[in-house]
Chain A
Amino acid sequence: MNRKQFLKTIALTGAAITFKSKGGMDLMAQSQDGKPVDMVAVMGGEPDEMFKQAIEEFGGISKFVKKGWKVVVKPNIGWDKSPELAGNTNPKLIAEIVRQCFQAGAKEVTVFDHTCDDWIKCYKNSGIEAAAKAEGAKVVPAHEESYYREVKLPDAKKLKTAKIHEAILDCDAWINVPVLKHHGGANLSISMKNYMGIVWDRRIFHSTDLQQCIADICTMDKKPALNIVDAYRTMKSNGPQGRSTSDVVDTRSLFVSKDIVAVDTAAAKFFGQIKAMPLERVGHLANGQTLGVGTMDLDKLNIKRIKIG
């Protein structure tokens, strides 16, 4: 066998394997036919690939994004960290979501986060600004109070008002795209915690019962059209910032649901496989359920589980 033949064989084998795994996927999907899908969990692919699979199960993103809409994609860009350190949402995932929103006819897609580190550094070093802009999204600042407007939260327990970023208030739909990670204060940071990036004053959260305030902010009228939890890489310790790649586990997963409490419960259980994380420790889940934001009872939901590869 010469070099050329060898390469050819390799290429063919590669193609065959890819094909097979795609076929295998449908078998893995546990669908309860007829009932609408409440949540999709995907494992084993690249971020964009997993999202494509997941959103297909929901019938495509056009179920959530209509023609001519202004859409906000809200990742977690909290820290001045590169994608490998998993402190922020994966830029590839954001790029794919933005791309699909435009495909569905969105007029405008905006991306922002109220960062913890210097916003310019976060936007740049997370890779999200470049990835989102490449797909045509507007990446807007959120570092000054003047970008925020006050909103009342009548159903909240402790946090009765909050200043919310104007991009969220002025859009037709927003998509919440957190990254799953350990968190020193809230114990886990997922979709509900990601709400803190649309809020101006976060100290108030910390000083008045963090776990309750996180649930409270989720009672805001304008709920995300989808919550897409990025668990391609998971920061298992020293969160939410992390120190090095030793805090990161390659988990290659993605969870998508409209129910924010449910998707966070699922992600928390998933995290529990890496490191013990009893759900009571993630107090905002139960608080969210009490406020009627969503359910922690995953058994009652129609969940599609997909493994790629």
Chain B
Amino acid sequence: MLKKTRVVASIALFSLITFYFLDFTDLTSGKTLNLLVKIQFVPAIMASSLIILIILIALTLLFGRAYCSSICPMGIYQDIIAWISKRTAKKKKRYKFSKAKNVLRTSMLAATLIILLRFPLIVGLIDPYSAYGRIVSNIFRPIYLAGNNVLEMIFTRFGNYTFYRMDIFIMSVFAFAVAILTLGIVGYLAWKHGRTYCNTICPVGTVLGFLSRFSIFRIRIDKSKCNSCGACEMKCKAACISSKQKTVDNSRCVDCFNCLNACRRNALHFSSNNNKQLTVNNEASERNVDNAVAGKSVDESKRRFLTTGIVTAVVVPAAIIEDRVNSLTGNDGKESYERQHPILPPGSIDTKNMLKHCTSCHLCISKCPSRVLKPAFLEYGLAGMMQPTMYFEKGFCNFDCTVCSEVCPNGAIKQLTKDEKHLNQGGHVVFSREICIVQTEETNCGACSEHCPTQAVTMVPYKDSLTIPQINVEICVGCGGCEFICPVRPFRAIHVEGHAVQGQAKPFEEQEKEEKEIEGFGF
């Protein structure tokens, strides 16, 4: 019963959260599904959501690491992989008790805490929610869109326009590589050993594991009934049951309840602390485990694996050919021009706030309807790799849209109202008149002004009937409409320069509405 509840809850949550990342229509625009990402542990810490943290801690103190089995999407992903691995294995798959890697766990946690403020990249890399978000955004989503396009092709052929085509592209080679690596490594570990990631690397697992030692409800072994047959141990994907010692390491148990049904003697219970015999046993077991760890050092192969993993993750980007997307325009139209400063998503206040709070789950990027957000390469420096940055290759930031600020669970992009968004200045327009085609070709254009929602770019008389852009930086919000549409190549005649600190644009002056009486047709 417990197991069934767990499985149903997990699958429901996993599907919803995955769909939330995948969906590109209005279906998931409400606040309901957003709650699923807001209750994730690391985002709650990042956003300092005390209520959510208290609830999660209370949940753990009550029932142990139910979070890891039913709320964390990465945890559920591993369960799915482990389940497939078990179903497809030729030989019967058995898990075996392994000693807790407490030194590794604690040092990962300590490292996480120390670097929390300094290197969000690392937190973002190992935070299970963000890592899963990136996997969906960078790998599953393109596949989902491809599926949509196949359906669209079929339906459109029969004159049904329920589906519409979506442009599929890899937003960032680096983020894609990281997502593939994460998917592969975590998947491999789950395939081979079950919940290894959760009990060695995952900082959330370590924190909750520490708390779950004290949980009221937990898996307990009735020593008098147990005959050390090992059936439960074989089923334990957290490798935390020692059938020989008749102990359960509750700091690693993720409440999957697979062991309960495995026991033929009914010696396992998920129960509260009311059996003295069990309590004594369990406490003894914890001591044993602790002693064992203190006595023996960390597993060499795992350490090697970890070091290699992190080194690869940091070195690979350096080897990847530099992203050329940022080359925009030249001051004289010949040289490529690098943005002096990247453009932050509207509402992210400043680079510091972004670096401090964002763990690169890429939810904002997946949800952006205008496709102006992509994972940064080195725009924010090494520490800000994969955090969202604005670019205007695929579109420009819709004036009225506040989606990214609404979905961000980390408080990295603060929620904006439509009116606040209208004045949020993330950058300012820069015009290179000498390469503008109105000057070079002497033809009408005005594409930039056309796309400017505040008329920070207006067309003023130039020669004959020609008009040329004139900019007013004060009322510019940095939406990138002008940069997106500018037809001048290879370098654009108009672009947006980012601000390290987002400012306030001046509201544009409203003209008075004239009441014009028009009597005749005029022709």
Contact = CB atoms under 8 A, between A and B. Distances in A.
B518 interface: yes
A210 B442 CA distance: 11
A269 B508 contact: no
Contacts of B167: 144
Interface stretch (B7-15, B124-132, B248-256, B448-456): B448-456
Contact of B165 (A117, A141, A237): A141
A237 B511 contact: yes
Nearest to A306: B521
A2 interface: no
A175 B347 CA distance: 43
Given A273-B522, A305-B521, A207 B488 contact: yes
Contacts of B446: 183-186, 206, 210
A61 B204 CA distance: 68
A185 B445 contact: yes
A246 interface: yes
Contacts of B487: 203-204, 206-207
Interface string B487-523: 1110000000000000000001011111010101111
A49 to B, nearest CB: 17
Contacts of A143: 164-165
B473 interface: no
Among A203, A206, A253, find the residue whose CB has the most chain B CB atoms closer than 10 A. A206
Interface string B387-426: 0000000010011110000000000000000000000000
Contact of A265 (B450, B520, B523): B523
A234 to B, nearest CB: 9
Give the size range of B's interface with the partner.
Answer: 35 or more
Nearest to A119: B164
B197 to A, nearest CB: 38
Interface in A145-183: 146-147, 183
Interface in A23-78: 41, 43
A117 B398 CA distance: 7
A298 interface: yes
Contacts of A187: 444, 465, 467
Most buried by B among A43, A139, A207, A253: A207
Contacts of B166: 144
A139 B161 contact: yes
Contact of B445 (A210, A253, A280): A210
B434 to A, nearest CB: 16
Interface string A240-274: 11011111110101000000000001100111111
A243 B453 contact: yes
Contacts of A278: 465
A118 B395 contact: yes
B108 interface: no
A186 B444 contact: yes
Interface string B306-327: 0000000000000000000000
A266 B488 CA distance: 33
Contacts of A136: none
A116 interface: yes
Interface in A86-142: 108, 116-118, 120-121, 138-141
B143 to A, nearest CB: 18
A250 to B, nearest CB: 8
B262 interface: no
Contacts of B522: 269-273
A211 B398 CA distance: 27
Interface residues of A, number: 61
Nearest to B485: A203
Contacts of B26: 120
Contacts of B395: 118
A264 to B, nearest CB: 11
A185 B521 contact: no
A244 B509 CA distance: 10
Interface string B199-213: 000000000000000
A21 interface: no
A183 B513 CA distance: 19
Contacts of A204: 487
A150 B518 CA distance: 43
B443 A80 contact: no
A70 to B, nearest CB: 10
A222 interface: no
Contacts of B454: 243
Interface string A210-224: 111000000000000
Contacts of B512: 246
B458 interface: yes
Contacts of B437: 206-207
B452 A203 contact: no
A283 interface: yes
A68 to B, nearest CB: 15
A183 B443 CA distance: 15
11 contacts: A144-B164, A144-B167, A184-B449, A184-B458, A185-B467, A236-B516, A246-B513, A253-B521, A271-B522, A280-B465, A305-B521
Q: Which are the 10 A-B pairs with shortest beta-carbon distances?
A: A185-B446, A207-B487, A184-B449, A203-B487, A184-B446, A269-B523, A141-B164, A184-B459, A209-B443, A206-B487
Interface of A: 41, 43, 80, 108, 116-118, 120-121, 138-141, 143-144, 146-147, 183-187, 202-204, 206-212, 236-238, 240-241, 243-249, 251, 253, 265-266, 269-274, 278, 280-281, 283, 298, 303, 305
Interface of B: 26, 159, 161, 164-167, 369-370, 395, 398-401, 437, 441, 443-447, 449-455, 458-459, 465, 467, 485, 487-489, 508, 510-514, 516, 518, 520-523
Given A246-B513, A271-B522, A303-B523, 19 more contacts: A43-B521, A121-B401, A138-B159, A141-B161, A143-B165, A184-B446, A187-B465, A206-B446, A206-B447, A208-B441, A236-B516, A237-B511, A241-B452, A241-B453, A243-B510, A249-B518, A269-B522, A273-B518, A281-B465
